[in-house]
Amino acid sequence: MSVSSPIQIRLDAMTAWFLNGAIRYVRVYGHEIVRAIFPTCRDPKWGSVLPEIHDLSTNITDSIATFSYGVDFSDDGIGIDSRIKVDMKMGG
């Protein structure tokens, strides 16, 4: 199962989107600083193995955004199961 609906993140002057396990289009004061951060897995021929996202938990407030989810990669001879937690916040 993929998480098909994008989740918009707004933390003070920072905006971003969470979609299918990726943090995308991170902007600060309207300037893109990061295009994408995402878990990935390659097969022996350097093809991408599509992730299966599950057990998504989100907590977004005015000052912090937290995402926790499982990511499974499986393909011919590949089986990787992992758990990811992302905390995003503005400031130092």
- Backbone φ/ψ region at 37: left (φ over 0), alpha (ψ -120 to 50), beta: beta
CB 70 within 8 A of CB 54: yes
> What is the spatial distance between Cα 78 and Cα 82, in angstroms, rounded to a whole number?
13
* pLDDT score at 91: 75
Mean pLDDT, consecutive 10-residue stretches, the chain (92 aa), reads: 76 92 94 95 91 93 92 91 92 66
**Whole-number Å distance between alpha carbons of 45 and 18:** 28
pLDDT at 4: 65
pLDDT of residue 22: 92
